[in-house]
Amino acid sequence: MSNELEGKTVAFLVANEGIEQVELTDPWQRVVDTGGTPRLIAPEAGKVQAFDHLTTADEFDVDGTVADAQVADFDALMLPGGVANPDQLRVDADAVAFVKGFFDAGKPVAAICHAPWTLVEAGVVEGRTLTSWPSLQTDIENAGGTWVDQDVVVCDCAPSLLVTSRNPDDLPAFNDRMIETFAGA
C-alpha cells in the first residue's frame, strides 16, 4: 500500500443505475489503497445500482449529488463505464457541466469503456487522443478526437490530463496510469 494519493479526493461520477461494477470498484479500491479518498457522486441521492454486464450486481451509497458537487472540492474525476451509465449522464445537464468543469480547471480525468460518451457531450474531446469501447470510435472522431485501440491512453492535452481505457480487461494498466496521473497532478 502506497500513499501516492494521500490528501487527494477523487470524484467518481455515475448515474443511479447501469454502472459496470468492476469499473467502479476496481479503480475505487486503487484510490483507497494509494491513500486517496473516493467520493461517489450521482444525479440522485440514495443508492446507485451496479451491473455485471447485464446482470444486476451490488448497490452503493451515494456520497453527494452532482447538482450539489463542486469541482473545487475534488482533485480528480473518475468516470466508470457500462453502457447505460454514461448514456444517462450525457443527458443530465449537471453531470455534463461537472465533467466540463474538471477540464476547465485543469484537473485530471480518467474514463473507461463507454464513459467517453459523457466526455463527447461535455465538448472536451476535440484535439485529444483517447480510447474507449470500440463502438464509440465514430462518436469520438465526430467530436474531433482521435480514437486509438490501446489498453490505456494518457493524453496530456492542456489544460487537463485525460486517462482512458477500453474495457474491464484493461483495468490493471488503466488503474496504474490513473493513479500515476492523479498523483502527479
The predicted structure's pLDDT at residue 3: 87
CB 36 within 8 A of CB 69: no
pTM over 0.85: yes
Residue 2 counted as domain residue: no
Cell output for 52: 455485471
- Tens of pLDDT along the chain (185 residues) come to 678 999 999 999 999 999 999 999 999 999 999 999 999 999 999 999 999 988 999 999 999 999 999 999 999 999 999 999 999 999 999 999 999 999 999 999 999 999 999 999 999 999 999 999 999 999 999 999 999 999 999 998 878 899 999 999 999 999 999 999 999 98
Neighbour-count burial for 28-53, b at 16+ CB within 10 Å, e otherwise: bebbeebbbebbbbbbeeeebbbbee
Residue 145 counted as domain residue: yes
Provide the CATH number for the domain around residue 174. Answer: 3.40.50.880
Residue 93 counted as domain residue: yes
Q: Could you confirm whether 113 is annotated as catalytic?
A: yes
Residue 1 counted as domain residue: no
Residue 151 counted as domain residue: yes
Residue 115 counted as domain residue: yes
Which DSSP category does 5 fall into? T
Residue 33 counted as domain residue: yes
Any residues with CB less than 8 A from the CB of 178 and at least 6 apart, and which?
A: 27, 30, 78, 110, 163
Q: What phi and psi values does residue 149 have, to the nearest 5 degrees? A: -100, 85
Residue 146 counted as domain residue: yes
**How many structural domains compose the chain?**
1
Neighbour-count burial for 146-161, b at 16+ CB within 10 Å, e otherwise: ebeeeebbbbebeebb
Domain region containing 131? 9-184
